[in-house]
């Protein structure tokens, strides 16, 4: 089977493309920049296709799986998904954007009818936390509330920063009684022991607020990121600047600047940094807690995304809208390099 990696010349896309070729996968590199796309394809000895995402339906012949690595995904996912549904091609991406997860969930029936899977979020956000959520649900099937926490050191790529700029105006986000609800930035904090003592954490609109609901059915979900105590004050102050991001020229300019000046983490971060994840589920009477550690975010994304493509190519019988843990089970993250197991309390 053939996989097309769109956005292959971006920071994360290139890492995934190189890993896919190293594993012997049959891949085609694609993107809208012809020089960058063809140049990388020549380096790796594979074919390439150059097209804007809106033209994707004309370029998916002979392709079984698309892995979209081109963000912001709120702009690229919809046209690529439309092309995949029209051509009977499986769709995967590495987004962490809540609007994308929600939009693709609404296409579940269309994907079932087309016999393809829509599997967003096969990167760091949300593979390990989604699997942790599923593991907690298995431990306490009657859970009504789920809380997840992430302690992730390190820097980000320009593409990730551009996506964050695009979503900055959304503020905080939680799920209450099955519905997504926005909250003021920095309004929710708590202390979390990620395994090495208590740390301050602030509520964040991570993708799990969407995906964990579809994975577990738990109707009340919050996600936290470890951060210094002053972070919530900065978030609250920054909230007053977000109207500027509603001006398209300002937002696009900041996104272009982010891509231009931020190259991404150094290549050895996966060897030196670890990410700690925490989660608790409760039914009001019983509470269960679990933790897991992974390599740093980009190393985990490369491993998880490439492995997901392998599993879909191998004929995993999955169709419709899927989350990583729903498609491959809660132990999926444990099959990835550098992840040992869940630690339960």
Task: Read off the pLDDT of each residue in 220-236 and give the average, rounded to a whole number.
Answer: 72
174, pLDDT greater than 60: yes
Cβ atoms 49, 28 nearer than 8 A: yes
Q: Which CATH number fits domain 127-297: 3.40.50.720, 3.30.360.10, 3.90.1300.10, 3.40.1190.20?
A: 3.30.360.10
Q: Looking at residue 119, what DSSP letter applies? A: E
Alpha-carbon distance 21 to 29, whole Å? 10
Pairing of strands 172-176, 145-151: unpaired
Q: What is the mean pLDDT of residues 286-301?
A: 96
Query: Which of 148-152, 210-214, 263-267 bottoms out in mean pLDDT, i.e. has the lowest?
Result: 263-267
Residue 13 burial (C-beta neighbours within 10 Å; 0-12, 13-18, 19+): buried
- Res 186 pLDDT > 80: no
* CB neighbours of residue 286 within 10 Å: 11
140-141-146 Cα angle (round to 5)? 65
Confidence at residue 152, expressed as pLDDT on a 0 to 100 scale: 83
User: Which part of the chain is CATH 3.30.360.10?
Assistant: 127-297
Q: What is the spatial distance between Cα 55 and Cα 57, in angstroms, rounded to a whole number?
A: 6
Q: What is the pLDDT of residue 203?
A: 85
pLDDT reading at 228 higher than 80 = no
pLDDT over 90, % of the chain: 72
Q: Per-residue b/e over 25-61, b at no fewer than 16 CB within 10 Å?
A: bebbbbbbeeebbbebbeebebebbbbebeebbebbe
Q: Which residues of the chain are in CATH 3.40.50.720 domains?
A: 2-123+299-328
- What is the per-residue pLDDT for 204? 84
Which DSSP helix (H) or strand (E) runs through 203? Answer: strand 198-203
The rounded Cα 285 to chain-centroid distance in angstroms is 32
Q: Residues of 252-261 as b/e, b for ≥16 C-beta within 10 angstroms?
A: eebbeebbee
pLDDT band at 263 (very low <50, low <70, confident <90, very high): very low
The residues, ordered by sequence, that sit 6+ positions from 54 with a Cβ below 8 Å of its Cβ are 79
E strands present in 241-302:
274-282, 287-295
Q: What does the alpha-carbon distance between residue 35 and residue 15 come to, in Å, rounded to a whole number? A: 18
Q: Between 149 and 160, whose confidence is greater? A: 149
Q: Which single residue is written with the structure tokens 């339906």?
A: 57
Nearest to 230 by CA among 270, 202, 207: 202
Integer Cα distance of 171 and 32 in angstroms: 31
- CATH homologous superfamily, domain 2-123+299-328: NAD(P)-binding Rossmann-like Domain (3.40.50.720)
8 Å CB contact between 282 and 144: yes
């Amino acid at each position: 089977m053939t996989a097309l990696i769109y956005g292959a010349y971006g920071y994360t896309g290139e890492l995934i493309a190189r890993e896919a070729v190293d594993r012997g996968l049959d891949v085609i590199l694609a993107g809208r920049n012809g020089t960058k796309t063809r140049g990388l394809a020549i380096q790796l000895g594979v074919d390439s296709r150059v097209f804007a995402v809106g033209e994707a339906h004309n370029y998916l012949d002979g392709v079984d799986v698309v892995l979209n690595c081109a963000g912001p995904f709120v702009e690229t996912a919809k046209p690529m998904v439309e092309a995949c549904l029209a051509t009977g091609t499986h769709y995967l991406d590495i987004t962490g954007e809540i609007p994308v997860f929600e939009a693709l969930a609404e296409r579940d029936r269309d994907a079932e009818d087309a016999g393809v899977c829509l599997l967003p979020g096969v990167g760091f956000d949300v593979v390990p936390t989604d699997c942790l959520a599923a593991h907690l649900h298995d431990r306490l099937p009657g859970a009504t509330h789920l809380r997840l926490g992430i302690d992730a050191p390190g820097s980000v790529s320009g593409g990730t920063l551009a996506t964050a700029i695009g979503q900055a105006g959304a503020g905080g986000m939680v799920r209450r009684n099955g519905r997504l609800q926005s909250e003021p930035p920095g309004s929710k904090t708590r202390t979390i022991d990620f395994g090495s003592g208590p740390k301050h954490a602030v509520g964040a609109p991570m993708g799990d607020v969407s995906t964990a609901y579809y994975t577990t059915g738990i109707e009340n979900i919050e996600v936290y990121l470890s951060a210094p105590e002053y972070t919530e004050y900065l978030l609250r102050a920054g909230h007053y600047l977000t109207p500027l991001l509603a001006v398209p020229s300002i937002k696009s300019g900041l996104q272009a600047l982010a891509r231009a000046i931020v190259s991404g983490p150094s290549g050895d971060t996966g060897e030196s940094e670890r990410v700690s994840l925490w989660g608790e589920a409760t039914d009001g009477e019983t509470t269960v807690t679990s933790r897991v550690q992974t390599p740093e975010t980009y190393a985990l994304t490369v491993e998880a995304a490439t492995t997901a493509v392998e599993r879909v190519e191998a004929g995993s019988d999955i169709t419709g809208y899927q989350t990583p843990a729903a498609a491959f089970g809660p132990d999926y993250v444990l099959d990835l390099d550098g992840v040992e197991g869940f630690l339960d309390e």
